Structure 1
Amino acid sequence: MADHSAETVAEALDFLADFTTMSTFGATAAGGVERQAATAEDGQTRRFLVDWFDRHGFTTKVDAVGNMYGLKEFVPGAPYVLVGSHLDSQPSAGRFDGAYGVLAGAHAAQRVADRVDDGSLAPRYNVAAVNWFNEEGARFTPSLMGSGVYIGKFDADATLELTDHAGITVRDALSAIGFHGDDEPPTAVSYAEIHIEQGPVLERENTTIGIVTANWTARKYTISVHGEQAHTGATHMAHRHDALVGAARVVLAVRELTSMFPAELVLGSVAQFDVEPKVAGVVPAKVTMAVDVRSSDPDTLEKAHDELCAAIARIDSDGEVHVSIDSSAPRLSTSYQTEGIELAEQVARDLGLSHRRMLTMAGHDSVNLKDIVPTVMLFVPSVDGISHNEREFTRDDDLVAGVEMLAETLARMVRGDIGAVTTD
C-alpha cells in the first residue's frame, strides 16, 4: 500500500492547504470559481503560483502567449519533463478542473527535486511545472490555445491578435494582468498531466487512478441560421423567416442525433448561441451557434456527421430559413504512447493504487503535447461525474493519491524511463 509516514502525511496536508488557498481566487458563493483566461481573477491565481515557485526555488518563465513555467534545472543543457495543466476556468465553474493539475504538478516537481537533492534520484532530465494559457476556450477561441502554440499548431503572433466578445485582444488581456512574457519556453522531452476525470467511471468502479490511452474523436462546428429581420407585432406568422425558430430546430436535431446510436456512444451539444439582433420587437435575422459532437469510435462519429448534415439539409429545404455549416473541424482520436501507459501502470502497482485504462472524453492540453513527445495522462475520480459546474468535487484522499501517483511517475520520467533523447 502507499506510504503513510509522517513526511508523507505532512506533504499531503501541505498540498491540501495550498489547494484551499488557490481556490479562494475567483471563488463563487456556491463553492466554485470563475477565472476565465487573462481576467483579474486569473491574474491573482497566477501571482499565487509565481510566489509558490519563488518560495520553493523554481525559476519562473512566461512566454509570449502567457504560458507559465516553473523550472528546476538538474542537468545543465538537458531538456525538460513538463508537468501541469491550466488555471483558467469556465464561467461559474468547479474549483478542481485544471487548477488541481497545475498545483499537483508543482508539488510533484518539488518532491522530485527533493529526491535529487538527497541523492535518492539520479536525473537525466530537468523538470518544469506548467500552467497552459486558455485551455478552456471560454473567453478566447480556440481552446487548448497555449499548448497549441507551444507545439506549433497555432502561430503565436496570430494568437495574440485574437479577441474576446468585448473586442479585447489576447495580447492586451495578458498585458493587463502582467503575463504577456517574452521568455523562450523550455524544450520538452516528455509530458505528464493529472486531471479530475469529469465523468462517473472511476467513482462507479471504486478505482483511484485512471490511465488514459486515447482521446475521444470529436467534430466542432460553427453553424449559422439565416432568416429575415421583421417586426414581431406587425408581421403575420406565415410571412416570417425566424432565424431563432430554425436554430431551435438545429438544437433539437443535435440532441436527436445522439439517440440514433447506442447509449453513451455519441454526445452532442450546442454550447454557444449568438442571436442578431438582440432586441425585443424584432424577429431574429441570424443565429450563429457552436456545435460539438463526440464519440469514442471514429467511424461512428462520421456516421453522426452524415446524419447531422442530412438533418440540416432538411431544415434548410423547408424554406423558412437558410442553414449553413460555416466550419467543421475534426479532432481526431490518437493514442497516448504505450511506454507512458505502461510506466504509469507500473507506478500504480508499486504504490498499491487501484487503476484502470480508459479514454478521455474531454479535451486536455495533453492531447496536444502527445503529438510531439511521450505523454502520460492520469485521472482521479469526480464525485457523481460532475464538472464545469460549481458542484464539481473530488475527495481529499483521491486528490492526495493523485499527487503521490504523479510525483512517482514524474520521478521515473526525470530519471529517463521514457522519452530518451538520442544524441550523436
Structure 2
Amino acid sequence: MQAINKERVAGLLQGLAQFGKTEHGITRLAYTAEDKAAQEWLLKQIQDLQLKLSVDAVGNVFLRREGKNTDLAPVAMGSHIDTVVQGGAYDGTVGVVGALEVLYMLQDEELERPIKVIIFRAEESSRFGFATIGSKLMAGVGDPDKFSGAAKEGSVTFKEALTEWGCDPAAYKQARKAAGCFKSFWEIHIEQGKVLEETGERIGIVHNIAAPTRFKIIVEGIADHSGATPMGFRKDALVSAARLVIAIEEAATNEAESGTVATVGVLDVEPSSINVVPGKATLWVDLRGVDEESINCALSDIRDAVSEIAKNDSITITMDMLTADNPVALSEELAAKLDVICAAKGIAYRHMNSGAGHDAMHMAKLAPASMLFVPCKGGISHNPAEYADNEDICLAIEILAEAVKEEASA
C-alpha cells in the first residue's frame, strides 16, 4: 500500500474551500452553481486515478475503481461537498477527499472487489429543509414532492433545483438501490463536537447515529396596530411563539441524560414590522437523539405545550411534521475491525455516538456501515471557524485504507 500524501489531502480540502467562499464563510448550497463548480474542479484533480464516473437520477456521483471480480458487490466510501450557509471547510469534504486518498493509497494493490467513492447530493438541510436527501433517495426514503414541501414562499423547491441541475424529478426512483448492492459503506467525518478534543483521543469509532425529527410550528394570531391595540386585546403570535421556544428547551432538557436535544433554528415572523403586532410566527424545530423512547417523550411534551399555550393564549397553533427519522445503529462487525486497526497502531481512540445525522445512516439500509470521527477544534462546525488538523485527518484516512483493503480483498 502506498504512503498517504498529506500535501495532496490538504490541497484538495483547501481547493474545495474556495468554492462559495466569502468573508463570512463558505456558502455552497446543494444543486447550486458553486456546488457544481466544486465538484467539477475536484473531478479534474483526480483524473489520474482513471475512475469510472457515473451519476444517478438525482445527481449522486459514483467513482468506481474496478476489482479483479467485477461481479462482486463493491466496497463503498464517501460523503458530501455541499455546505450550510456560512459554513466551514471540513464538514463532508473530509469524507470525500479521504475516500479519494484511500484510492490513491491502494493504486498498486490487486483487490478482488471494486471500490466506489460516492459524492452525495444535498446532505445539508440548509436549502430545502430536509437533510441527507441524496442518500435518502438511494435508500428509497421520500420523494421529490416531499422534499419540496418545506420550501419557503418564493424559494426554489427541490424539484425545481433538481430540474435546473439537469435531472428529471419524475425519474427519481431510478436512483434507488437494493440492499446488498455494496459489501460495506465507510465514512470519515469531523466529530462536530468537542469530546475527542477534550479527551485527547484522535479517532472516534461511531456506533449509533442520532436521527432528526423536524417540524414546523405555525402560530396564528391577529396582526394589529402596535399603538392602538391595548395589551389585553392582543393575540400576539410572537409572544406565544416565545413561550413555545422555552417549552421546547425544557422538553429537551428533561431528556438530556439520554442525549436528546432540541433547537428552534429559525423563527419567521409576519408581517415583521416594528409597528405591527405579529399576526403569524413559524418555528422551525430540530429534535434529535439516539434513544427513540427519549425522542418520543420530548415530542410528547412539546405537543402538550402546543395545546396548553394555544388554549391559554386563545390562539391557533398547528404542527407540521417534516421528517421523523429513526436513530441508526451502525455495524458492530465493522466497528470491531476499526478497533483492531487502531489498537495495533497504538492510537488513542474511543467508541462513541454521533449527535449529528450523516449519509451513513441511510447507507446502513443498503449495507453494513461504519464511521470514523476526527477531532475538530473547539467542537465547532457549521461555522467559518470549523477546523480539523491535517495530521488527524490523515490518520483516519490511513485507518480507513487498511479497513477497505481488507474488505475489498475477499
Matches within 5 A, 1:170-185: 170-174=158-162, 176=164
- Paired with 2:205 and 2:97, the residues of 1 have a C-alpha distance of 19
- Aligned match for 1:151, one of 118, 126, 139: 139
Say if 2:50 is the partner of 1:54.
Answer: no
Matches within 5 A, 1:182-193: 187-193=181-187
Deviations 1:336-395 (A, max 9, x none): 122111111122223332221111110000011112210111101111111111111111
Please tell me the residue identity of whatever aligns with 1:232. S
Q: Which runs of 5+ in 2 are unaligned?
A: none
1:95–1:390 Cα contact (<8 Å) kept = yes
Per the alignment, residue 420 of structure 1 pairs with none
- The alpha-carbon deviation at position 241 of structure 1 amounts to 0.7
- Paired with 1:228 and 1:56, the residues of 2 have a C-alpha distance of 62
- Paired with 2:101 and 2:194, the residues of 1 have a C-alpha distance of 26
Please tell me the residue identity of whatever aligns with 1:40. A
- The alpha-carbon deviation at position 46 of structure 1 amounts to 1.0
Please tell me the residue identity of whatever aligns with 2:60. N
C-alpha change, 1:13 and 1:185, in structure 2 (3 Å) is farther
SS in 1 for 2:313: coil
Say if 2:407 is the partner of 1:413.
Answer: yes
Per the alignment, residue 343 of structure 2 pairs with 349
- The alpha-carbon deviation at position 197 of structure 1 amounts to 0.3
- Aligned match for 1:135, one of 109, 123, 129: 123
2:211–2:356 Cα contact (<8 Å) kept = no
- Paired with 2:168 and 2:403, the residues of 1 have a C-alpha distance of 31
- The alpha-carbon deviation at position 227 of structure 1 amounts to 0.7
Matches within 5 A, 1:151-170: 151-155=139-143, 158=145, 164-165=151-152, 166-170=154-158
Per the alignment, residue 119 of structure 1 pairs with none
- Aligned match for 1:338, one of 313, 332, 355: 332
- Paired with 1:39 and 1:298, the residues of 2 have a C-alpha distance of 35
- Paired with 1:180 and 1:405, the residues of 2 have a C-alpha distance of 39
- Paired with 1:210 and 1:324, the residues of 2 have a C-alpha distance of 40
Matches within 5 A, 1:173-322: 173-174=161-162, 176=164, 187-261=181-255, 265-322=259-316
Deviations 1:172-219 (A, max 9, x none): 434545677989688423211010000111111111111111123543
C-alpha change, 1:163 and 1:177, in structure 2 (3 Å) is farther
TM-score normalized by the length of structure 2: 0.90
- The alpha-carbon deviation at position 255 of structure 1 amounts to 1.8
- Paired with 1:146 and 1:203, the residues of 2 have a C-alpha distance of 31
- The alpha-carbon deviation at position 397 of structure 1 amounts to 1.1
Per the alignment, residue 41 of structure 1 pairs with 34
- Paired with 2:176 and 2:75, the residues of 1 have a C-alpha distance of 12
- Paired with 2:357 and 2:288, the residues of 1 have a C-alpha distance of 11
C-alpha change, 1:163 and 1:303, in structure 2 (3 Å) is closer
Per the alignment, residue 365 of structure 2 pairs with 371
C-alpha change, 1:206 and 1:179, in structure 2 (3 Å) is farther
Please tell me the residue identity of whatever aligns with 1:82. A
Please tell me the residue identity of whatever aligns with 1:303. C
C-alpha change, 1:162 and 1:99, in structure 2 (3 Å) is farther
1:84–1:131 Cα contact (<8 Å) kept = yes
TM-score normalized by the length of structure 1: 0.87
C-alpha change, 1:80 and 1:180, in structure 2 (3 Å) is farther
- Paired with 1:132 and 1:260, the residues of 2 have a C-alpha distance of 35
- Paired with 2:325 and 2:336, the residues of 1 have a C-alpha distance of 25
